[in-house]
Amino acid sequence: MPAVSVEGVEKHFGSTVALAGVDLEVAQGEILGLLGPNGAGKTTLVRVLSTLLPPTAGRARIFGLDVVDEAPEVRRRIGLTGQQAAVDEILTGRENLRMFGELFHLSVAGARRRADELLERFDLVEAADRPARTYSGGMRRRLDLASSLLVRPQLLFLDEPTTGLDPRSRNAIWEVTRELVDEGTTLLLTTQYLEEADQLADRIVVIDHGRLIAEGTGDDLKEQVGGQVVEVLLASAHDRAAAMEALGSAAHPVGEVRVQVGVDGHDALTRVSEVAQALDRAALTVRDLGLRRPTLDDVFLQLTGGPPPGAEPPAAPSPNGQKAAR
Amino acid sequence: MSTPTSASAPAGTSSGAPTPGPDGGSLYWLVRDTWSVTKRNLRHYVRQPRLLVFSTIQPVMFVLLFSFVFDGVVGVALPGGVSYIDFLLPGILIHSSAFRTTQTAVGLAEDLERGVVDRFRSMPMARSAVLSGRTMADLVRSVAVLLLMIAVGYLIGFRFNQGVLAAIGAIAVVALFGYALSWIFTYIAMVVPGAEAVQAAGFVAIFPLVFASSVFVPVATMPAWMASIVAYNPVTLGADAARVLAIGYLSDDYGSALEPIGWTIVVSAAILAVFVPLAVRRYRRMT
């Protein structure tokens, strides 16, 4: 039985179509990354799956339970950490956790004990007795995630869990996330950070305008865009024409000072060397030259026909160190 | 139906996380979840000192203002032996109780705009506890304010004169009536979007009810056409019930003391029977 099974789910708000027919399956223990720009329908889908919104059409089941007809049973199996921290601002961190613990039907003593454990786990002991409204964004998000973990969810929804977070909080959230998955929790993660999806998720589904437009592992998606390229970062935009000429027909510009040459089945190292020699012969100054795989940004650009969302840099340090060249 | 046993919470980090307790379907869990939410709302009152101070000053101010301003005019229209403060205080308890119910609506509307309600709604708790915890906390606060108003009344001459049980009965009738009204406002908060709109809607509903009533003046002093309407106003019933229990004052419109008391209870029960299910259903369906 899949953890999540979605068949033809649509959600309309008046004349606005937020979900235009989504089919999706998530296996138990899987980490699914739901990737898409703002307004793509990610949050709406999460709200439907977490019983907060009934779908306009279609069916969604969590561990075989219908999110509308069997909502109370579904709620016992899920945890939800949303985009805005869903904690009480006036209560302290400790009071929040105790209250949610009681509402998850732990015993009063059990809720107290669990609250203390989580405060410890999420590095909130010092702030435990301050009202949550005095917390920084990162502390609030950690408290929010802790609130989802008072009882162990079989399926956890993380709706843009690291948007706007400092690296420390981000790492803390990633670490806990990985732990949960090791323990068998299924994870549905939404993000507009392409790197985040690539780093955390087993499988990525790309959503845009309420439709799923691509699916696969990070590698699969990159494959769809094309193989490796040699990328050259020129010292000056004036050199671009000269560089293009020197590199021949395999080269194409990808910006003012950036040129890519497809590897196209050649030996990658040979190709790098050829490019380097050609540029050297043309006496061009190069700031950086390297082998590069297409990032999910490129995937996104190609799939949605629009620029990738968010001016902010992706959340993670790039796994193969390409960040320096960009 | 779940059994009233708590899930155990073994120690440990996230790896030792307990599984959720039984689903919140039973009355036991409704009561316990209501209490958890009530505690939260009471903490909100205590932690917001400005709100606390002003919402307490207002009813006290009303007791003082009305008793001194209207004493000269209304005092002479009362039957012999009844002082205006004795007449006024039971009525103004109802008045204050009724007005405070608009705060129920505002508090709830603010809650609905907060992210924390999303968490409540995605949890296996009794769903209606968000509403019942709100009305229950407001009831607790309301009784505290009533006691304060009575204390202030005592300083300026008010006395219960029907015995302790009747005095407790008077407070209970006012509290019950206020509690019932607070469910109407709970429903208003569900259907009117936005806290400010809710407050405005609440005042529109509550003003005529409270002022076209026997709260401040005897009905007999009103024009005949108005008196006939006012006699059926539930606020009049509540004020008259509180009055007969507190000071034994019964206007000529009633045959016996049981009439206003009985009707107030019946009207309150009827309001609860209609608006509790309406509000809960609306909350469940809310998107």
Residue-wise pLDDT for B242-282, tens only, equals: 999 999 988 888 888 889 999 999 999 999 999 999 999 99
Domain segments of chain B as ranges: 26-285
User: Is the pLDDT assigned to residue B133 strictly greater than 90?
Assistant: yes
| Interface test with chain A among B45, B122, B127, by most A beta carbons within 10 Å | B122
Amino acid making up residue B47: R
Q: Do A107 and B13 touch (CB under 8 A)?
A: no
- The reported pLDDT for the residue numbered A306 is 57
Pairing assessment for the beta strands A229-234 and A286-292 based on DSSP bridges: antiparallel
Mean pLDDT, to the nearest integer, of A106-133? 94
Cα separation, B252 vs A101, whole angstroms: 56
Q: Do B19 and A152 touch (CB under 8 A)?
A: yes
Q: Do B124 and A105 touch (CB under 8 A)?
A: yes
When mean pLDDT is compared across A170-184, B6-20, B178-192, the lowest value belongs to B6-20
User: Is the pLDDT assigned to residue A318 strictly greater than 70?
Assistant: no
Take residue A53 and report the two structure tokens written for it.
């919104």
- The reported pLDDT for the residue numbered B198 is 85
> Is the Cβ of A16 closer than 8 Å to some Cβ of chain B?
no
Chain B environment of A80 (Cβ under 8 Å):
118-119, 122
Q: Do A51 and B22 touch (CB under 8 A)?
A: no
Closest Cα in chain B, distance from residue A308 (Å): 28
Domains and CATH numbers, chain A: 4-222 (3.40.50.300), 228-292 (3.30.70)
User: Is the pLDDT assigned to residue B192 strictly greater than 70?
Assistant: yes
> Is the Cβ of A174 closer than 8 Å to some Cβ of chain B?
no
Q: Grade residue A320 by pLDDT with cuts at 50, 70 and 90.
A: very low
- The reported pLDDT for the residue numbered B10 is 36
Residue B28: CB atoms within 10 Å: 17
When mean pLDDT is compared across A104-108, A207-211, A217-221, B124-128, the lowest value belongs to A217-221
Mean pLDDT, to the nearest integer, of B196-221? 86
User: Is the pLDDT assigned to residue A313 strictly greater than 50?
Assistant: no
- The reported pLDDT for the residue numbered B22 is 59
Q: Do A85 and B115 touch (CB under 8 A)?
A: yes
Closest Cα in chain B, distance from residue A147 (Å): 9
Q: Give chain B's contact residues with A (Cβ, < 8 Å).
A: 6-9, 11-25, 29, 32-33, 36-37, 39-40, 43-44, 47-48, 114-125, 129, 287
Closest Cα in chain A, distance from residue B22 (Å): 7
Chain B environment of A123 (Cβ under 8 Å):
none
Q: Do A107 and B18 touch (CB under 8 A)?
A: no
Structure-model confidence comparison of residues B20 and A156, the more confident one: A156
Closest Cα in chain B, distance from residue A24 (Å): 21
Q: What is the average pLDDT value for chain A, to the nearest integer?
A: 85
Long-range contacts of B96-99 (CB under 8 A, 24+ apart): B96/B58, B96/B59, B96/B62, B96/B145, B96/B146, B96/B149, B97/B142, B97/B146, B97/B174, B97/B175, B97/B177, B97/B178, B97/B181, B98/B177, B98/B178, B98/B181, B98/B206, B98/B209, B98/B210, B98/B235, B98/B238, B99/B206, B99/B210
Q: Grade residue A6 by pLDDT with cuts at 50, 70 and 90.
A: very high
Complex ipTM value: 0.84
User: Is the pLDDT assigned to residue B36 strictly greater than 50?
Assistant: yes
- The reported pLDDT for the residue numbered A312 is 39
Cα angle B112, B114, B119 (rounded to 5 degrees) comes to 90
> Is the Cβ of A117 closer than 8 Å to some Cβ of chain B?
yes
Cβ–Cβ under 8 Å, residues A251 and A243? yes
